[in-house]
Structure 1
């Protein structure tokens, strides 16, 4: 018995000569501009992007093919298949095929996602009211404010997503809009005119091409986390064994003599450096500079702690660890032995788990403390950002953008982007994923645009 959205029979029908030639035309529209430019075959996409993504791309081309009318009779594969083989399909499958036949690919912004059940979709190209979509699979991975290129198909009173769903990044969205403006817009126009369904339907391959342009360029890229100096954010824990007969008191005296070492208690020091406010320059969306600034404006470059028979230096980059190690070696001399260094990425640090006995290792940040520390940092980071130029806002500050009608819309898009990026953390309990931007919407008075 076929499932409600089973297209296997229709795909077998595709093997007929008259339809395979027609499909080849549509396939070339979707892939040839990029494959030819990169001297690639379609199979290379699976190697670069993964088999699942390649099959989704193929599905986008296939769904576009189902909407097309070709010269001669029969002119459409869905019409012909239902006429000849429709009796083999159940009512839902027939309704799904008919829905695909007249469907239109568009770009949607999703919200109110209920995993395994539903989502709300806003058409970013044609406008209109929010659409309730019943969906059980994609909603398990989609996040608030995600953008997707998809076909919303009505089936027996419910709206569902067709199989060809492409997640669109900000960059892919810009590529798509630039392409659509070239087709439908006037020269130097910032906004798209109203696009009719039949016009958008004819541009279905543009969604596939825009997505591939972005995805292929980022195939090996990762989001960048940096410190103020622009160094990759990687934790370095440098442990100096104390020499035989050396006490913590001996080491403390040497540490107190290092410029920038601020003693917090008998065993702990903050390694500080003055950094003038605003020296970091404009904040780019999606790039976080995870540093801590003291109330007096001093930046924390690292921490030094005495633990038993060890002097431990912690820093968030290789350059800082190297500099701190040199300072300690120079000050401590032969009181310490050759250090051992442990290196961890942010992802490794945050995915570490307590030991089997349930106790948290002394070198690990407890999850609840990590969340508090990172949330406090993000509060400070974004409060500062409200008065700093932002690229997505035309290099205006968020407070400046909030005073301009066009700026308010860009501001809402920027806030949605920030929310979406934090929500996309693989671990939903990650401190970055649990951070709330609600206060920024209210403070900038754009909460009415959060929809």
Structure 2
């Protein structure tokens, strides 16, 4: 992704009255409906989304503005800027500006991600084969089959992503497609119409609005829960396999050397917060918080418990899990082997308590054995699923749906969704995250659609 410095001169050029007024019109197209619907201004939006995402969606509007022609002379800000100030820019910056001048926003499906280097992008609106994109920053966060709204532009012999890249959920994707069908297709049409670049260019604000409405709705419906440190609530159970023959009393003796580790009985400890003298507790973020306090009023950071040949450390955030794991490993030394971490979100915890979860093999075993067990379980689960009705497939079984051309595409989308959600496990070495769906594509004869 090109650096923002490449467009610094153009951004300053916006202060000219003729362009400032034009840009305000474009901003209104991209943000007006959302700000009106939620009765807020852009500063409120920035506070809700955070500065990074607010500037990303602002960048989408700015890049759209760069591609537009307005009445009068010179008509386009890039043309005007290059004519007047182009001599100040280096060859790469000028090439990037001119590429944005003719760029079009579209929705892409990501595959073959090489972190820090490249990805393949398939245009879900205009079709065609996936194209190779050189990308350093976004590839460190993108997963297989992610969908992104972006401008892919050619710069000095390479395809690159422009700065305004928005990750699209299935809900945002459907909202976008509904909007495009309504604007350019027939009433109640099920398929996207074939759009010309000119039509897609005119619909650029739909991408921003679809993303904003979806993101804000999800944030309002399910507010982010954090602990009193300001960390996102994600429950971690870190299991330390203990060395053979080690006595519980020896484990207890070493755990008691950890500051804040308070022993409740022979096998259970509370890990309580100890704020160093003279230092205030960090202020938590402005969001609903979850935490427990001890009888003394101190915040409980987690707890540790001896269960058979394992020591379990439980916390409610990744940050606390990392701190606690480091402390326990330092204290136990060679009495414990490499730990295995189980991660659950708030939604998963609630589902388990309501009895809606599906049991998977226990991971209280060495990592390689746990991974094998989980993968074997998933093999059996998905083999059975191939002969069961699936809602995403119109309540047909995957095998039934894969017998028709339209059904094959639906099954491919279903498999991509499963792969994408599995790849997004918080822990990249979690057995769920390392599971391969390749055998299912082969089983259903769909390997040619896995692109």
TM (normalized to structure 1)? 0.70
**Is 1:386 aligned with 2:360?**
no
Gaps of 5+ in 1: 224-232, 238-307, 312-340
Partners of 1:10 and 1:384 in 2: CA distance: 57
**Is 1:82 aligned with 2:82?**
yes
Query: Bigger shift: 53-62 or 36-45?
Result: 36-45
Residue-by-residue CA offset, 1:236-286 (whole Å, 9 max, x unaligned) = 99xxxxxxxxxxxxxxxxxxxxxxxxxxxxxxxxxxxxxxxxxxxxxxxxx
Mapped contact 2:66–2:100 kept (Cα < 8 A): yes
Mapped contact 2:236–2:321 kept (Cα < 8 A): no
Give the 5 Å matches for 1:4-19: 6-19=6-19
Please state whether the residue corresponding to 1:6 is helix, strand or coil.
helix
Please state whether the residue corresponding to 2:6 is helix, strand or coil.
coil
Inter-CA distance 375–344: structure 2 relative to 1 (3 Å threshold): farther
- Once the 2 structures are TM-superposed, how far is the Cα of residue 369 of structure 1 from its aligned partner? 3.7
Partners of 1:85 and 1:78 in 2: CA distance: 10
- Once the 2 structures are TM-superposed, how far is the Cα of residue 192 of structure 1 from its aligned partner? 1.4
| Number of the residue aligned with 2:409 | 409
Inter-CA distance 78–236: structure 2 relative to 1 (3 Å threshold): closer
Mapped contact 2:314–2:321 kept (Cα < 8 A): no
Please state whether the residue corresponding to 1:132 is helix, strand or coil.
strand
Inter-CA distance 361–415: structure 2 relative to 1 (3 Å threshold): closer
| Number of the residue aligned with 2:170 | 170
**Is 1:355 aligned with 2:312?**
no
| Number of the residue aligned with 1:158 | 158
Partners of 2:66 and 2:133 in 1: CA distance: 21
Partners of 1:12 and 1:235 in 2: CA distance: 47
RMSD of equivalent CA atoms: 3.1
Mapped contact 2:35–2:41 kept (Cα < 8 A): yes
Partners of 2:267 and 2:77 in 1: CA distance: 74
Please state whether the residue corresponding to 1:133 is helix, strand or coil.
strand
- Once the 2 structures are TM-superposed, how far is the Cα of residue 235 of structure 1 from its aligned partner? 9.2
| Number of the residue aligned with 1:31 | 31
- Once the 2 structures are TM-superposed, how far is the Cα of residue 310 of structure 1 from its aligned partner? 7.5
Partners of 2:317 and 2:368 in 1: CA distance: 16
Partners of 2:376 and 2:70 in 1: CA distance: 60
Inter-CA distance 408–344: structure 2 relative to 1 (3 Å threshold): farther
| Number of the residue aligned with 1:377 | 377
- Once the 2 structures are TM-superposed, how far is the Cα of residue 389 of structure 1 from its aligned partner? 2.1
Partners of 1:91 and 1:404 in 2: CA distance: 51
Give the 5 Å matches for 1:72-111: 72-111=72-111
Mapped contact 1:103–1:153 kept (Cα < 8 A): yes
| Number of the residue aligned with 1:197 | 197
Query: Bigger shift: 22-31 or 120-129?
Result: 120-129
Please state whether the residue corresponding to 2:153 is helix, strand or coil.
strand
Considering only CA atoms, is the larger Rg found in Structure 1 or Structure 2?
Answer: 1
| Number of the residue aligned with 1:140 | 140
